[in-house]
A and B are shown apart, each in its own frame.
Chain A
Amino acid sequence: AQTVTQSQPEMSVQEAETVTLSCTYDTSESDYYLFWYKQPPSRQMILVIRQEAYKQQNATENRFSVNFQKAAKSFSLKISDSQLGDAAMYFCAYRSAGKTGRRALTFGSGTRLQVQP
């Protein structure tokens, strides 16, 4: 079974600064997807960024980028120019890509990000 580990329960960053959230995962599969989701106080899950395992290039979405290290099974999220609206719970998630793999998301325990003005 796949597992996702987020070792930072809480992180804090100053507004306009950069912060990196860590995520590691364990899998025996070679084809999969990795995601970072944001959950603000409203509890609505919002997709931040997605990475396909077969792609070597790290995904980027505006101020959000990932450092995907497949061999190390590491998938960190970097938030640049942090804004007050970035304050939320961030979940790293894994999903199989193969036809026989688990189709649901497996989530890490989450990292609560605080942004200081």
Chain B
Amino acid sequence: GAVVSQHPSWVICKSGTSVKIECRSLDFQATTMFWYRQFPKQSLMLMATSNEGSKATYEQGVEKDKFLINHASLTLSTLTVTSAHPEDSSFYICSARIPWGQGIRNTEAFFGQGTRLTVV
């Protein structure tokens, strides 16, 4: 199946610093990637939809200036948590779908391994 690689798998940072998380589609081109946030023992909540070559679409309540998303190529989307605070500590997961026409499994979303962010 298609592979989505997310890096780093975990990161600890100090309050006030910024952290960048990368999401790569390794064997397909992803025009759209999705960023989710998962609090402990809770479900995945969509933060934003990342579109290659254009601005990301943020869900209501997600601060676009705090969670910067860049999708500069067809295989890479990045999420930067700016001026991180302890309440930003969470598990962040990206996913991507194979665009229509590139493969038969284009209804399925492929997920990265996730990034555990701890802000101290």
- Residue positions of A touching B, CB distance < 8 A: 33, 35, 42-45, 47, 50, 52, 91, 95, 97, 103-110
Contact = CB atoms under 8 A, between A and B. Distances in A.
Contacts of A105: 34, 44, 46, 95, 109
Interface in B25-52: 32, 34, 38, 42-46, 49
B22 to A, nearest CB: 17
B46 to A, nearest CB: 5
A109 B38 CA distance: 11
A83 to B, nearest CB: 21
Specify which of A35, A42, A50, A107 lies most central, judged by the most chain B CB atoms within 10 Å of its CB.
A107
Nearest to B116: A43
B95 A107 contact: no
Looking at chain A's contact residues, the main secondary structure is loop
B111 A44 contact: yes
B107 interface: yes
Nearest to B107: A33
B49 A107 contact: no
B118 to A, nearest CB: 14
B91 A45 contact: no
A91 B42 CA distance: 10
B38 to A, nearest CB: 8
A64 to B, nearest CB: 15
A108 B43 contact: yes
Specify which of A52, A103, A108 lies most central, judged by the most chain B CB atoms within 10 Å of its CB.
A103
B107 A52 contact: yes
Nearest 8 A-B pairs (CB), nearest first? A45-B111, A107-B43, A104-B46, A104-B34, A107-B44, A43-B114, A109-B43, A33-B107
